[in-house]
Structures are given as C-alpha cells and as structure tokens.
Amino acid sequence: MTRVLILDDSLTVRMGLHEAFEAAGYQTVLCAKAQEAWEALAAEDCALIVLDVMLPDADGVEVLAELRRSLRTADIPVIMLSTEAEVQDRIRGMRCGADDYVGKPYDVDYLLARAHTLTRRDAVQAEGSPRVLVIEDSRTFRAFMQEIFTAAGYRVLLAENGEEGLRIALSERPDALVVDGRLPGIDGATVVRRLRMDAGLRHVPCLMLTASEDLNDELLGLEAGADSYLRKSEDPEVLLARVAALLRSAERSRSPLPETSALGPKKILVVDDDGISRQALASQFQLEGYDVTLAQSGEEALELLKAQAVDCILLDLVLGGMSGLEVCRKVKEHAEWREVPLLVLSVREDRPTVIEALNAGADDYLIKGSDMEVIRGRVRAQLRRRHFEQESRHWREEQLRQELVKAEARAAQELADTRATLLSDLAKKNEELERAKELAEAATQAKSEFLANMSHEIRTPLNAIVGMADILARTPLTSEQEGYVRVFRRAGDTLLTLINDILDLSKVESGRLELDVSSFDLQELLEKTLEFVAPRAHEKGIQLTLDFAPSLPRYRQGDAHRLRQVLTNFLGNALKFTERGSVTLRADYATQVGNLRLSVSDTGIGIPQEKHLAIFEKFTQADSSTTRKYGGTGLGLAIAKQLVELMGGAVWLESEPGKGSTFHVELPLELASSVPRARTEALPTASGSSMRILLAEDSEDNRAVFSAYLSRTSHVLTLVENGAQAIARFQEEPFDLVLMDMQMPVLDGYGATRTIRDWERESGRKPTPIVALTAFAYKEETEKSLEAGCNAHLSKPIAMRDFLEAIASYAPTPAPNALGDEISRKLQALIPGFIARWTAELADLPQGDLDAVRRFAHRLAGSGGMLGFPGLTELGRDLEAAAKVPNPAEIESRLAELSRQLDQIREQLDSQRA
C-alpha cells in the first residue's frame, strides 16, 4: 500500500487528511512535529509527504530544503499546505522543490487527485497487469466481475454509480472501463460521453454492459462512444476476450496525451489588494473544488507565477503598485503564461476601460460585485475554452505525429525496397563479375595454352632456321653469301628474342612464372651483366661503368637469372638510345631500410615526362618512329616491370628529353647467409671419346640440323622418328646417350622415356642418360620430362654449342684400363704446352690484322676439340667467322672471351697437377 507522511501541527488537519487518504486506499503516517517526521522517515519509506508550512519546531520550507538535500528523501514528492496569507512562503517553497502547494482550507478531491498524480509515477513503474474499472450498481454482479477479471490477471477497480466511476476514472486512469448501461443517477451512456469529452480519458477503451434486450440501449451506448456493447447474459469468456481485444487495439493507438483534463482539479490565482473581496472570491472558488492562490499585488502575482503554474487568473484592475493593466500585459507577453485565461475584475463599466483591458490581452472583463454565479460561469467558460484549445492543439500534433509516423513508415518501406533492389543488383553484379572472372581465367588459360602451342610450333622450325644458319656460316661462302647469312642469323635471333619475350610476359600474366630463389653474388652478377653488353658499348664508343656502393653487402637471396634479365633490358635500352657519353649501372642502399636500389643511367635521348608511365605498357614505345630508327618491340620494359613487381619491388624512371634517363629498381633482396660458391666452367672430361647416340625427333629438318651438328664429331648417331621406334631401337642395341624429342606422333617422348626406364629396371641395366628436347619453354614441361625419367632438358632452338656441350657432359669418363687410354694420356700430356702457346700467341696477336686473327682462330678451332676442349673449337670458329669482315668490337669481345677460357683451363690444369 502507498504510504503518505502527513506533517501538520493541527490535529484537525491531520485527522481530516488521515480519513481522506485512508478512504482513497493510502496508508498514513501522522506527525505533529518535524522531529517525529525525521524519525518516521528514517524508519520507513514514504511515497508522498504532505507538509505544513508552519510547524512548532521548524519552518516547513526549511524542512523541505532538508528533504531535498538528503539522498534518501530527495525524490519523494512533497505537497505543501499553507494559508493564503503566506504568499512569500509559497514562492519559497516552490523554489525549494515542492511538487505542489495547496492552500488551506484545502479541497480534499484536489489534494487526493494531486497526491495520486504524484505517487502514480512510481506506481506505474511497479505495476504490471492492466487495470479495469467496473461501474456497476448490482453488488452481486460487481462481485462476479471482480472475480472473473481477477482470475484473468487484471487488477479491478469498482464503482457503484456513474459519479463515483467518473471520479475513480479520473484519479486512477484505468486501462479499460466496463460500465453498466443502466445506473442510478447518471446512466452508463452519460458516463461514457463524459469520458469521451475528456482529453485525458478519451482513449480508455469502454465496454458497455446491459441486462436489457432493448436495441435502443445498445445504440445509445455506442453513440455515446462505447467501443463495444455486451449483454450480461453473454458468456464471461466472451467478455474477457472483448476486453483483451480492446486493450490490444488501445495499446496500438496509444499516444501521449495532455496531462490536463477538463474534469480535473484547477488552480486559480486571485489578484486583489482588497482583502475582503479576495477572501470572498477565494471561498466561492474553493467551494467549487478549485485550489485558490491569493496575491495582494501585481508584483506578488508575477513572482508567484514564476514559481507555480496556475490554470486561471482573476485580476483586479485597480491595484496598489503595478496596475492591473500592466500585470495583464506582462502575463500576456510571457511565453509560458500567455495561454493562461486571464479575467479582469473591475468596478468600472465604461467602454474605454473595457476596451483597454481587452486590448491589453485580458480574455474576459467582469464587473466586480456581479452575481457570483455569473463570475463562476465565465471562469468555467474560459477554462473550457483553454481546454479545447489545448485539446485541438494536441489533436493537431497527434495528426502531425501520425502523418510523420506514416511518412517514416513509407520512407522505411522505400529504404527497404531500395536496399533490397541494391542488394539484388549487387548480387547480380557479383554474379556477373564472378562469371567475367571465370571467363577471364579461362581466357588466360586458353591464351597460355595457345602461347605454349604457338611457341612449340614456332620454335621447331626456328630450330631448323637458326641451326642451319649456324652450319651455313661455317661452310665456305662468298662474302655476298656471308652477308645474306648474317641477315638470316640476325632475323632468327630477333625472332627468338621476341618469342621468348612474349612467352615470359604470358607466363607472368598467367601467374605461371615462378621465381627461382637462391643465394648469389650481386657484384659478380652485375659485372657479368655489364660484360655481356660490353661489346655493344665498345662498338658505339660509350663508356660503361659499374658503381657498387663500397659497404653494400654483396651476397643476396633472389632470382639472379630474372634480375639479370631486367638489368640487361635496361642496359640494352640505355645503349640503344645513347649515341655518346656513358652508361652507368649503380648499386646502392634504398630509401626503405633493407631494400636495394639498382639504377641504370645513360646520357642518351631521354624520355618526355608524359611517356614515363606508358613505356612500361606492352608494345609501347616513347615515339612511333622508335621502331623504325632503333628497332625493338616495346615488350622489354613491360616484362622488366612485371618481373620486378613479382620480386616484390618497384621500377620507375627519371628522364628528360636530351638529358638522358635513369631507370631505378628497388628490391627487397634479403642478405644471403652463406657465400655462394663461384661457378667455373667445367673442363670437358673425356676428350673426343666417341658415343653411340640415339636421336628421336619427328621433324625432318631438325633431324638434319642435329645430324649436321654432330657431323664433325666422332659420335655415332642413330635417327628414329617417334617414341615407339625409339623404344624398339633402344632394346635392340646399346646406346651411350638418348636425345629424345618430347612432342612426337605415335608415342611421345614422355611415354617412350617411361617405357625405357621400366625396361632398364626390369632387365637390371644401368640407366642410360636421356636428354629431353622440347620446344616448350614452361617450367612445368621441364619438370614433366624429368618426372618421366629424363636426366636433363634442352629447350629448342638449341644452338650448336649448347648441344655439343650437353652431349660432352654425358661422355663416359675413360676407364684407366680402357682401350685408347694410352693415346688419351699422351694427348693429356700435350695440353699444358698447347694452352701456354695459345696464351702467348693471343697476347701478341695484332688485332687489326684480320688475316693473322683468322689464321690463329682456324688453328684453335682445329685443335681445341681434339684436345677435349670443344668450347675452344667453338670460339675459334666464331672468331674466324667474325674476322672475315672488319668488325673490331666483335673480334675484341671474342678475343677477351678466349683469353678468359684459356686462363680458366690453365688454372684447372694447375690445380689438377697440385
């Protein structure tokens, strides 16, 4: 039960309040002194405090201030009670945080209504189940209603007639109302009508009950505003279901309602400096159930208004101090008070005064001393007007709110629709992208396959072209024919470069290029790369320099082969686009810690800014005349960029037309922990020992080329055209080496190799070396051939030198007791002498004397191979060919290479002897 603490020194007031509160269902705690109140509050919680201003042991306003200061009591609602004389106390009290101020003598209904509103806040939170007010005059039926509603989980409020019902409805604001149609006094229809007129209760669902079968009663009830109509004879289940349905729909349409109610208690401020007239008005209105606040002057009234809101103002025109008109104007200028009905009271009846008062904002003009009934009626009318204004404003707002809700719902719907459309669009787009991606992947796959096939198709005839050109160059030719062959070889080389470039690019693009990472000596790599392009630089008279930052670590981890490819491209371009000056390869620390910066600078033609990005695109050159003037395809930089990016680095350039170019590469090349072993060229093992070689190759041209390559060697060559023939021959006679083309009709090289390996195993033979010959440049192809059982792999077109070297590396080492051992030993003994002589001759060779060079080269070519150095023979032949025309750069580079090989051989011989 809700507990109310009443602190008043008057026993009459205490008892009066006690009775009123008990009757309204509250429990009271009565205290005559502040001290008692503090003790009571310390002992138990209270939901409300009614506090007299004048106490024997304290000032009520100070008690209030103390209550507000203490954490425990700060939130307890407080209604102050005071006699009207103490206006200043009232203002003080409101300022200290009183929730209401009620004048003595108080109106019980007003006080209870306020008490209820103030305590309901907490009650609402504590309550759960809905409350039904049953207005029914029959005691039995009331009891029955209470029973069924309680059983169904409702809380029930009971009233036995219309008036009581309305009062309870007003103070309790139930969630639903069940009203008997026939009641003593005001009947059910009137109760409903009154409820419907009240903004605060308009929405309470109403169900009308009747014992009569008269249709008219039902119509009357519904017309009055009942939501539903039910006969008492109806099954109680139906009644419960109806009430539940009404509550549900009320819940749905619930909206915030104005606090004010036309039937609710009102507070009136009477401003009059004449005490008698003030008291007369006060008692009149108190009798009507209003709470009356009195002010003696305009100043007092305005100050009071600041502390406490009122529902109506009665204002005497003639006041001591501020005039009534001025007060009126001030009230009407104030935003918060403007709407409060203000009625002017005056003894004067003249037109100008009336007009002046109304112009100052008064809502009505009353003549003092008129019939009190008239004054009360006019006040009621003003209150009603204000109430309707508030109500209509509320409905306008409500309508707006509903519009807003609808608009929001529409917007939400549109948003949801848009989102759904977007999502479905997105899904569609994703699907399309997925499809496009699949198509693109399929296209890339197809492109790679096409390139692989194309490269095979092109490389096979190219092998014949390059090989034959090689062989042709070594036959006696007229100088005119030699010129033709040179063109022939150069075109073959260009074609080969182009195919290699395209293949590289397609490998990178299809993600099939894998880096071959190992430790390497960066300085050595850069030196070798420069050596490779040195002849070109020499030819053009361009200075070629390596600038290796002294403290830069040399040993690195990475794909040395690909790095060299990138640098060769930059250097090649630098030399191509530079006519005079220098080309520098620089290795230094990069801006990013741990990275390496490599740059190639030239003093050539330079590149305009707008082309700096474009030249890294495929088939793009800075200038359309480039191809005509300098040749090239525009693929080199595209490949370089892709390779660098694959290595996790970046390329860019600095260049200006006429001021040369610098191409930069920045790479994250890790330091190598171990020093890589320097690779030296192996000395051919056996000297000229003759091998039995089985060559399986389906292309007639290539069979001719390979036969030609071997024609001047002592090897015995057996030719077959496919895998099946190869197996048959291999099983018929012994071979020292098999050269197996991988793409062949009937049975391909992979199948043939596998069968041979199986046969060897089954018949307990030692495996014979098998070298795969393929036109495919893909790593997978190499791996596939090794998997099938091949020992090595050569990619077509195969230059004669590579071919012979590969074969030489498989020549069996002569056994100490083997036949010819004697001869071999004799030959071995001759080697150091030969090498020394050639070295000396080379040192004295007049390079300008072409005849002398040619003669020397010829001798070298003749003897080198015989002594077991096919490389020297090869070099001798190249040098002899180069010396046929004045070609100083080429001759010089060959001679340098020769000197290097001789040095190497000598070193090896020395170490063998040691």
Applying CB under 6 A, which residues contact ligand ADP? 569, 573-574, 577, 602, 604-605, 607, 615, 621-623, 626, 632-638, 661
For residue 531, the minimal CB distance to ligand ADP (Å) is 20
Kindly state the smallest distance separating residue 667's Cβ from ligand ADP, in Å. 19
3-state secondary structure of 635: coil
User: In the structure, how many helices (H) and strands (E) does the chain have?
Assistant: 29, 27
Nearer to ligand ADP, 633 or 809 (CB): 633
> Token digits for 468?
């034959």
In the bound state with ligand ADP, the residue whose beta carbon lies nearer, of 326 and 623, is: 623
Phi, psi of 176 (to 5 degrees): -150, 160
Q: Which C-beta is closer to ligand ADP: that of 513 or that of 756?
A: 513
Range 392-410 burial, b when 16+ CB lie within 10 A, else e: eebeeeeeeeeeeeeeeee
Which residue number, 603 or 689, has a Cβ lying nearer to ligand ADP?
Answer: 603
Rg (CA), the chain: 58
Query: Whose Cβ is closer to ligand ADP: residue 281's or residue 651's?
Result: 651
Can you tell me the distance from the alpha carbon of 81 to that of 95, in angstroms, rounded to the nearest whole number? 15
Contacts of 121 (CB under 8 A, 6+ apart): 77
> Minimum Å distance from CB 466 to ligand ADP?
20
Helix (H, G, I), strand (E, B) or coil at 847: coil
By beta carbon distance, the residue nearest ligand ADP is: 632
Q: Which of 108, 107, 91 is nearest to 295 (CA)?
A: 91
> Measured from the CB atom, is 606 or 868 closer to ligand ADP?
606
Q: Who's near 437: CB < 8 A, 6+ residues apart?
A: none
Least distance CB 798 / ligand ADP (angstroms): 25
Cβ-based nearer residue to ligand ADP, 243 or 583: 583
Instruction: Give 352 or 658: the residue with its C-beta nearer to ligand ADP.
Output: 658
Residue 535 beta carbon to ligand ADP: minimum distance, rounded to whole angstroms: 18
Query: Which of 463, 506 has the CB closer to ligand ADP?
Result: 506
State the minimum distance, in angstroms, from the CB of residue 575 to ligand ADP: 8
CB of 664: closest distance to ligand ADP in angstroms?
12
Least distance (Å) from ligand ADP to the CB of residue 491?
16
CB closer to ligand ADP, 467 vs 632: 632
Among the listed residues 890, 854, 860, 892, the one whose alpha carbon sits nearest the alpha carbon of residue 875: 860
DSSP sequence for 761-808: HHTTPPPPPEEEEES---HHHHHHHHHHT-SEEEESS--HHHHHHHHH
Nearer to ligand ADP, 52 or 504 (CB): 504
d(CA 292, CA 493): 117
Tokens (6 digits) for 318? 């003639």
**Are 577 and 605 in contact, with CB atoms under 8 Å apart?**
yes
Q: Which residues of 42-73 are buried (b: 16+ CB within 10 A; e: fewer)?
A: eeeebbbbbbbbbbeebebbebbeebeeeeeb
CB of 618 to ligand ADP, least distance (A): 8
For residues 187 and 602, which CB has a smaller minimum distance to ligand ADP in the complex?
Answer: 602
Q: What is the DSSP letter of 671?
A: B
DSSP output for 157-197:
EEESSHHHHHHHHHHH--SEEEEESS-SSS-HHHHHHHHHH
Least distance in angstroms from the C-beta of 562 to ligand ADP: 16
**Nearest distance from residue 511's CB to ligand ADP, in Å?**
21
Task: Judge whether 604 and 673 are in contact, CB under 8 Å.
Answer: no
The structure tokens 């609402």 sit at 124
Which of residues 24 and 499 has its CB atom nearest to ligand ADP in the complex? Answer: 499
602's tokens = 């030239």
- Cβ 745 to ligand ADP shortest distance, Å: 37
What b/e string do you get for 764-795 counting C-beta neighbours within 10 Å, with b at 16 or more? eeeebbbbbbbbbbbeebbebbeebbbbebbb
Closest contact distance (angstroms) between CB of 487 and ligand ADP is 20
34 DSSP assignment: H
Q: Where do the H-state alpha helices sit in 541-591? A: 560-576
Least separation in angstroms between residue 501's CB and ligand ADP is 8
- Name the minimum Å distance from CB 604 to ligand ADP: 5
Q: How far apart are CA 759 and CA 761, in angstroms?
A: 5
Nearer residue to ligand ADP within complex by CB, 579 or 841: 579
What are the structure tokens assigned to 51, written together?
């506090």
* Residue placing its CB nearer to ligand ADP in the complex, 463 or 565: 565
Residues of 334-362 as b/e, b for ≥16 C-beta within 10 angstroms? eeebeebbbbbbbeeeeeebbebbeebbb
**475/470 Cα distance (integer angstroms):** 9
- The DSSP letter of residue 585 is E
Contact indicator for 466, 489 with CB cutoff of 8 Å: yes
H-only helix segments in 789-887? 800-808, 821-844, 850-864, 870-882
Kindly state the smallest distance separating residue 547's Cβ from ligand ADP, in Å.
17
Answer yes or no: are the C-beta atoms of 234 and 213 closer than 8 Å: no
Tokens 């495929």 — which residue? 618
Cβ 7 vs Cβ 49: under 8 Å: yes
Half-sphere exposure (CA, 13 Å, Cβ side) for 893?
Answer: 15
Report, in Å, the least distance between residue 417 CB and ligand ADP.
53
- CB-nearer residue toward ligand ADP: 469 or 637: 637
